[in-house]
Amino acid sequence: MSLTNRILIAMVAGILLGSLLNLILHAAGTSAEIRALLDTYLVGGLFDVVGRIFVASLKLLVVPLVLVSLICGSSSLGSSARMGPIAAKTVALYLFTTAVAITSALIFAIVIGPGANVELGGVATFQATVPPPLTDVLVDIFPSNPVQAMADGKMLQIIVFALIFGYAISHAGEPGRRIASFFRDMEAVVMKMVELLMLLAPYGVFALLAKLFANMGIGAIIDLASYFFTVLAVLIFHALVVYSLMLKGVTGLSPRLLLTKMRPVWAFAFSTASSGATLPVTLRTVEYRMGVHNSVAGFTIPLGATVNMDGTAIMQGVATVFIAQVFGVDLSVTAFLTVILTATLASIGTAAVPGVGLITLAMVLSQVGLPVEGIALIIGVDRLLDMFRTAVNVTGDSVVSVIVAHGEEQLDRDVFLDADAADGSVDLDVYPNSKS
Ligand code: ASP
C-alpha cells in the first residue's frame, strides 16, 4: 500500500477511535475505573507518548533540513544571478496569496454574517500579549550568533544565515565547491532521515489524532457553528479554487494532481497543527513528488513555512468581522483595508506552531479598535480550525514553490506528472534522487 494511503487510513482511524473514546469517557454509564484506565494508560499514556515522540522527531529535522537545503539552494543559485529574482518573486507571491486570502475571508464573512445572531454572554477574559515594536521585529531577522539562532530554532535568522553562507560558497572558488559538495551529501542524508520518519508517520498521526479527539469536546462547534463553518468554507475555497486557478493559470499544470500529492502533507499539518513540524514532509513532497528543484524548494518552502500563512490570515479576517458583529461595531472601508494590511503582517509574524494565529489576532483587533477580549469568544473551536488552517498554510507554500520553479525552469515536469512519484513504500537502500 502506498505511503499516502497508509497515512490517510491512520488519520481516519485516529479520528474515529478518538471520538469514540471521547464518547465513552463522557458517557454517564462508564465506571470510574474504566475512565481512569482509558485516560491514564491509553489517551494520556500510549497515545500521548507516541504522539509527542513523533512531533519531537519531526521538529528535530527542521533546523538541519532548513540549513542544509537552503545552503545547497543558494550555493547553486548564487553564481547564476537568479537568487534575487527568485526571492523577489517568491515574496511577492506570498504577499499576494495572503492578501487574496484575507479579502475573500472578509467578503465571505460580510455576506454570511456569522456573528449576527450570537449573544454576547459572559465573555471570558483574554490576556493579550503586547507585540514587540516593528523595528525590533526587523532587526531580529538578522542573527548575531548563528549557533544561538539554531539552538533557539529562529527560522528567519537561520534562513538569513544560510542564504549568505550559500552565496559565499558559490563565490569562494575551489574551497567553496568542496564545501558545497559536503552540504549536498548532508542534504541527502537528512532527507533519508525524513524518509525513515515517514515510515513511522502512520503511527504518529494515529496517536496524535486519537489523543486530540479523545480530549476535545466537539460540542463547542455547535455553539460557534456559524463562525466555524464560515472559516472552513473560506479555507476550502482558497485551497481548492484560488490555488487551482493560480496554478492552472500560470503553469498550465493540473491542480488536481498537486492536491492529490498534498494529501499526506495535509495529514501531518492536520495532526500537528504546525507548519514548522510539517516542514520536512512539505519539502520532501515538493522536491521528490512534485519535481521542484532543490535550488527553489530549499528557499521557498522554509521561508513559506515561516512567513506565508494564508489559512491563518483567513481565520483572522473572519474572526475580525465575527467579533465586530457580536459587539455590534460597524467596520468602515478604511477599517477593512486596515484589516487586510495588519492581518497580512500578523500572519507573517505568526510562528509556525499551534495556536499562535489566535495570539497575533490581537494585533489586528486592536488596530481596528475592536475589543481584544473578543478572542475569548472563538477560543473554543480554535484548535480544530488550527488543524485546517495549517493544512492551507502548507498548501500555499507548495503552490507558490511550484509556480516559481516553473517560471525559473527548475521544475521537472515528468516528476510532477507522475502521480506515484516517490510514493511507494520507502526504499531505504536507494538514494532518493528523482530531482532534475
Ligand atoms: N498553526 C499554524 C501554523 O503552524 C499557525 C496558526 O495559525 O496558529 O501554520
Q: Is the CB of 356 under 6 A from ligand 1?
A: yes
**What tens digit of pLDDT does each residue of 143-185 get?**
999 999 999 988 889 999 999 999 999 999 999 999 999 999 9
Q: Is the CB of 273 under 6 A from ligand 1?
A: yes
Q: Please state, in angstroms and as integers, the Cα–Cα distance from residue 85 to each residue in 161, 316, 404, following that order.
A: 19, 30, 10
3-435 CATH choice from 1.10.3860.10, 2.60.120.650, 3.30.930.10, 1.10.15.40: 1.10.3860.10
| 126 neighbors 376 (Cβ within 8 angstroms) | yes
- One digit per residue, pLDDT tens: the chain, 436 residues? 788 889 899 999 999 999 999 989 888 888 888 888 888 899 999 999 999 999 999 999 999 998 998 899 888 887 777 888 999 999 999 999 999 999 999 999 999 988 887 776 655 555 556 666 778 778 888 999 999 999 998 888 999 999 999 999 999 999 999 999 999 999 989 988 988 888 889 999 999 999 999 988 777 778 789 999 999 999 999 999 999 999 999 999 999 999 999 999 999 999 999 999 999 999 999 999 999 998 899 889 999 998 899 999 999 999 999 999 988 888 889 999 999 999 998 888 888 888 889 888 988 998 888 988 889 889 888 989 999 999 999 999 999 999 999 999 999 999 999 888 877 545 544 444 444 3
| Nine-digit cell string for 261 | 500529492
* Ligand 1 centre distance from Cα of residue 383 (Å): 10
Burial of 25 (0-12, 13-18, 19+ CB in 10 A): middle
Q: Is the CB of 309 under 6 A from ligand 1?
A: yes
pTM as predicted: 0.88
CA–CA gap between residue 203 and residue 55 (Å, rounded): 12
CA–CA gap between residue 291 and residue 208 (Å, rounded): 30
Give domain limits for the chain: 3-435
CA–CA gap between residue 118 and residue 360 (Å, rounded): 23
* Ligand 1 centre distance from Cα of residue 318 (Å): 16
Residue 124: what pLDDT? Answer: 52
Q: Is the CB of 312 under 6 A from ligand 1?
A: yes
φ, ψ of residue 369 in degrees (nearest 5): 75, 25
Q: Is the CB of 390 under 6 A from ligand 1?
A: yes
| 323 neighbors 111 (Cβ within 8 angstroms) | no
CA–CA gap between residue 278 and residue 55 (Å, rounded): 9
Terminus-to-terminus CA distance in the chain, angstroms?
A: 27
φ, ψ of residue 9 in degrees (nearest 5): -65, -40
Please work out, in degrees rounded to the nearest 5, the angle formed at the alpha carbon of residue 254 by the alpha carbons of 296 and 87: 20
Region of 164 on the Ramachandran plot (φ > 0 left; ψ -120 to 50 alpha; else beta): alpha
Burial of 217 (0-12, 13-18, 19+ CB in 10 A): exposed
- Percentage of the chain lying above the pLDDT 90 cut: 59
**What tens digit of pLDDT does each residue of 364-412 get?**
998 888 988 889 889 888 989 999 999 999 999 999 999 999 999 999 9
Residue 431: what pLDDT? Answer: 45
Please work out, in degrees rounded to the nearest 5, the angle formed at the alpha carbon of residue 267 by the alpha carbons of 70 and 3: 85
The closest alpha carbon to 390, from 298, 262, 284, belongs to: 262
Q: Write down the residue that cell numbers 489566535 correspond to.
A: 358
Residue 125: what pLDDT? Answer: 56
Residue 403 CA, distance from chain mean position: 18
CB atoms within 10 A of CB 422: 21
The closest alpha carbon to 70, from 288, 295, 282, 289, belongs to: 295
